[in-house]
Structure 1
Amino acid sequence: NYLTDRKLEALEGGVRSPYIYLQERPSLQYAPKDIHSLKPPTVYSMILPFAPRSGSHIARPLSRALSSPLVTLTSTVSHQEPISISKQGATTGLAYDSAMQSHMCTCGTNDSHPEHGGRIQAIWNRLQETGLAHRCHALPSPGRASLEDIQSCHSEAHTFFFGSQISHQNINLRKLGELPIKNFVRLPCAGLGVDSDTTWNEVHTWAAARIAVGCALDLAFKVAAGELRNGYAIIRPPGHHAEYQQAMGFCFFNNVAITARQLINKLNLKKVLIVDWDVHHGNGTQATFYDDPRVLYISLHRYDDGSFFPGTGAPFVPF
């Protein structure tokens, strides 16, 4: 099957986006059906064109790519009893909350949406089946990240707009007017999105996005405190495309950027390394830390002279 739309070609490359102590976006387990025949989205109200803060130009029309065949690896891991956790015997932590699955398109189907709750559920189930989960420490859900934590990397308007139910918001309209998005796009499936591929569900998306940030923060701080040796966060929505006040590419809040910023702010860390090997450039993460010497961001991605989403991340050529 062809994988279409600007993020679908990302799914050809296996395991996704590990950052700092966690992996933000594991690979898709189920390839969506061909949606080339779908009509382009019609504008539900008004949305401004995407101009990445970290790039020098607006992304050109995006290339399409075939997905790789789904490969199933045979497990050689034996089932073991859960490992106890202590300062002396720290182990690998697993951060997960099934509530993040509730973020889904209002159309009610995942057929044309490659980023959906089944992704993290499949990963969690696989960890259980292979016995890997029993060799790790499953962390209780910390719940939603605070709005204050999120505002360490996003504007107040962006944080409240995507971090609370819109119908219940009490936000300064002048600040809300600063956001690139003025309303939502009607998707080909009849659902709503903040752009042509990033679905929005007023009831559930805001909470799932904050839980994803909360899981990343909780895991990273436990690793930093020595309670865990390392950790793996199975979270969604993802985050590395989210900019200061721009949601895009399935991302609302930049989970990893917020986590790194809070580790620096609260623990006074001097150096943080973020390694991103998603097939797409993490424009949001780069933009967040471009002028911060405490954070080294390394992105391994496909560029194609700017024709591959998001059109940023050109190789640096010194003069």
Structure 2
Amino acid sequence: MEEEVDSDGQKRYRTAVSYDEHMSSHFHSWKEDFTEKPERFTETIKRCKKYGLLERCKYVPSRLATEEEMMVYHTKELIDILEKSQFLPLEEMRKLSRLYDYLYFHKDIYNNARLALGCTIDLVEQVVTGKVLNGFAIVRPPGHHAMSNEFNGYCYLNNVATAAKLAIKNHGLKRILILDWDVHHGQGIQYCFYDNPNVLYISIHKYLDGKEWPYLRESDYDHTGEAAGVGFNVNIPLNVVSIYLI
């Protein structure tokens, strides 16, 4: 993450970072002790600042993703639901949340989801156009469970899938690797590119023979893609959890 200097004496960074402090308002509205809380964002920022990492990177300013960008993967109907959710009374938010699996709305979620997507898109753009070698988007809410027409698992807009689709559309990329290393399988990304040979999706996730959320048969190793995308979807399901006592 060290900076270099070009022939004009200007700083040239190898690594970019994008985030927005407003994302610290991402939380579960009616369960303060729930795992989805501001600290999942603020502690990451705090840790990076402690080691002086942020100032060594090129900062990519945050912005709200446009409706056109959101619709690269998501339906207009889903986006409309997300937009309207910010104005609902708390009880109506709770009712809406129950329509989805592990999904909780609050008044800032529409803008936070758009910020997370906007940051991710612009960070990928920096890398694809050669302005930096790599980058880190520190964003909440996450996105890999979100599907084209359904919110899911704390995810509202699929940040990575959308950014990858835009990179293909705008730059004609034909070889993209998405490595998803998480406790849970990112089915939203898998569904997005399941028949696409331009994207190799690799997911390493806890599976426990289907007993781990999201409890999907297609999260197993033998789901490898379809049509032209056969072989471009690689699931590495972890079926055994070992606990070592020292």
With the shorter chain as reference, the TM-score category is 0.7 to 0.9
Q: Deviations over 1:255-288 (max 9, x none)?
A: 0000000000111111111000101111110001
Q: Which runs of 5+ in 1 are unaligned?
A: 1-79, 169-182
CA distance in 1, matches of 2:144, 2:132: 24
Relative to the length of structure 1, the TM-score reads: 0.62
CA distance in 2, matches of 1:232, 1:138: 10
Q: 1:88 to 1:102 in 2, by over 3 A?
A: closer
Q: 1:195 to 1:277 in 2, by over 3 A?
A: same
CA distance in 2, matches of 1:85, 1:146: 34
Q: Deviations over 1:36-83 (max 9, x none)?
A: xxxxxxxxxxxxxxxxxxxxxxxxxxxxxxxxxxxxxxxxxxxx9x84
SS in 1 for 2:12: coil
- Contact 1:93/1:136 (<8 A) preserved: yes
Aligned to 1:8: none
- Contact 1:193/1:200 (<8 A) preserved: no
Q: Which runs of 5+ in 2 are unaligned?
A: 225-246
Q: Greater strand share, 1 or 2?
A: 2
- Contact 1:279/1:301 (<8 A) preserved: yes
* Residue 297 (str. 1) matches residue 190 (str. 2): no
CA-CA distance at 1:243 after TM superposition: 0.7
Question: Quick one: which amino acid aligns to residue 200 of structure 1?
Answer: F
Q: Deviations over 1:134-171 (max 9, x none)?
A: 22122222x11011111111111012211x23477xxx
- Contact 2:16/2:136 (<8 A) preserved: yes
* Residue 106 (str. 1) matches residue 29 (str. 2): yes
Relative to the length of structure 2, the TM-score reads: 0.79
CA distance in 2, matches of 1:151, 1:317: 27
Q: 1:260 to 1:196 in 2, by over 3 A?
A: closer
Q: 1:196 to 1:261 in 2, by over 3 A?
A: closer
SS in 2 for 1:208: helix
Aligned to 1:92: 15
SS in 2 for 1:239: coil
* Residue 137 (str. 1) matches residue 26 (str. 2): no
Matches within 5 A, 1:203-282: 203-282=107-186
CA distance in 2, matches of 1:130, 1:240: 28
Question: Quick one: which amino acid aligns to residue 156 of structure 2?
Answer: F
- Contact 1:83/1:134 (<8 A) preserved: no
Aligned to 2:233: none
Aligned to 1:314: 220
Aligned to 1:27: none
> Which is worse superposed, 206-215 or 98-107?
98-107
Question: Quick one: which amino acid aligns to residue 84 of structure 2?
Answer: Q
* Residue 147 (str. 1) matches residue 67 (str. 2): yes
* Residue 128 (str. 1) matches residue 34 (str. 2): no
Residue in structure 1 matching 2:84, options 158, 165, 177:
165
